[in-house]
Amino acid sequence: VTYKLCDRDYRCEECPFDAVMRQHAATKEGEKKSAAVSESRAVQGKRQGIADAGARSFEQALEVAFAPFRDMELPGDRLYHRNHIWIQKDETQCCRVGIDHVGASFLRTIASVVVPHIPVWIEREAPCAWVVHREGAVTLHSPVSGTILQSNQALKEHPHLINDSPYDEGWILCLAPDDFQVDLQLLLSPAEATSLFRAELVALRKEFLDLLQLNRPAVGRTLYDGGFPLENIQEMVGIRKYFEIVSRIFEKRP
């Protein structure tokens, strides 16, 4: 009320109008507080919903990334090295070498494949090729000692063949082994490789999940600002960190 004549000499404590107005003001204030609480709860609920959606997106991204390995089956016509290299002898006793589908699945956006000048002799476990991506290069190590005689020329124009057809069109090089029977001791059968790779994938998935959990607050802020949820592991952990982790599965190991 902007104006009212007072008939009680401003003894407000005796004024019924003042009592009503105070009660009305208190009701309005209560409504404002209630509305503020409701709005706060709504915002918190929205943020929790976004956080829950973010958690689901993490799990979904991991499911998509690891889905190809759920029913992992390695071709039975070749042998494998623990650093995700396969080797296959042909009728001429030369060996084709390439990346298995586990390693190939984690290598995205391959820019090029680099091999040494041919012919060249290399020792077992020595670098034999490099898969280049925008964050650097993954070094591939030879599963046997021998002379590299040929490289896959198709990879010069189509490096994505490593992703699309790792066991066939995406082979990388051919070499003549010095003593295949000696190197055979360090190679794995398909069953042995499958068992080893399954255990490795469990550890790898956990490492990614731990990183995604750490990055969740940052992703949440992006969502609160009206952005879009990140949809794959590379975006969630960062491309550089992603390839730092992935590169380790190709490292030289006994």
pLDDT tens, position by position, 84-127? 999 999 888 899 999 999 999 888 789 999 999 999 999 999 99
Residue (of 153, 145, 138, 60) closest to 104 by Cα position? 138
As a whole-number percent, the residues of the chain with pLDDT over 70 amount to 70
More confident residue, 42 or 98: 98
As a whole-number percent, the residues of the chain with pLDDT over 90 amount to 48
Residues comprising the chain, all counted: 254
pLDDT beyond 60 at 40 = no
pLDDT beyond 50 at 50 = no
**pLDDT tier at 148, thresholds 50, 70, 90:** very high
pLDDT beyond 80 at 145 = yes
Q: pLDDT for 195-250, tens place per residue?
A: 999 999 999 999 988 887 776 644 443 433 344 344 577 877 888 888 889 899 99
pLDDT of residue 30: 55
| pLDDT averaged over every residue in the chain | 79
pTM of the model: 0.72
pLDDT of residue 158: 96
More confident residue, 59 or 165: 165
Complete domains list, the chain, with CATH: 72-196 (2.40.50.100)
pLDDT beyond 60 at 21 = no
User: Rounded to an integer, what distance in angstroms lies between the CA atom of residue 121 and that of residue 165?
Assistant: 27
Which of 7-11, 41-45, 181-185, 197-201 shows the lowest per-residue confidence on average (mean pLDDT)?
41-45
**pLDDT tier at 61, thresholds 50, 70, 90:** confident
